[in-house]
Amino acid sequence: MKKLFYLFCTFIMSLTLYAHTLVLNLDDNEDGTLFIQGMFNTGESAEGALVIVESLDNQEVLFKKRLPSSSELIVPMPKVAYHVVLDGGPGHTVIKEGIEPIGGFKVEEKKETKKQKAPNRANMQISNSPAVTISIVIAFTLLIATIVISIFNTNRLMRELKKGY
């Protein structure tokens, strides 16, 4: 039983070795351009991750390109309020508010006020924080421990019942 427990613990610990989080860095080059860098917190390159610069006012895509092998891009800084989305695949999406240009954002006057839409569940995402990952690992550990203990106790009860007959 101890060998099984040690094997299980080793398996669970090895899963955490492959955990990584996508990191997005934004910098103002102070020349009207924006420096965008994407990488994983393990130091791996985020080559091929999709960078989208999107207007906050009307969700218009202002810039869209995949990261090159250097995992860095320099793009013109938008004059309107924006955010940068770095999409590295399922479970690896980071969104950061854009840096305000030197002169500030252009404020567009709205001609009509539209009723805001309710948040769409399909667009919601699970947090990428380590707390979520750790909680899931602990939950699965407890689930498997419960199953192992249940099997052990069932076998013990079956042996006791066979002795009685």
Q: Which domain holds residue 141?
A: 2-13+132-164
Are residues 9 and 26 part of one domain?
no
Q: How many domains does the chain have?
A: 2
The answer to whether the CB of 35 falls within 8 A of the CB of 72 is yes
Q: Is residue 158 part of a domain?
A: yes
pLDDT digits (tens, 9 = 90+) for 8-38: 777 676 655 556 788 888 888 888 888 999 8
Query: Residue 92 phi/psi, 5° resolution?
Result: -130, 65
**pTM of the shown model:** 0.55
Q: Is residue 113 part of a domain?
A: no
Residue 98: Cβ within 10 Å count: 21
Please provide the average confidence, as pLDDT, over all residues in the chain.
82
The answer to whether the CB of 51 falls within 8 A of the CB of 86 is yes
Position 115 confidence tier, pLDDT thresholds 50, 70, 90: low
Are residues 139 and 100 part of one domain?
no
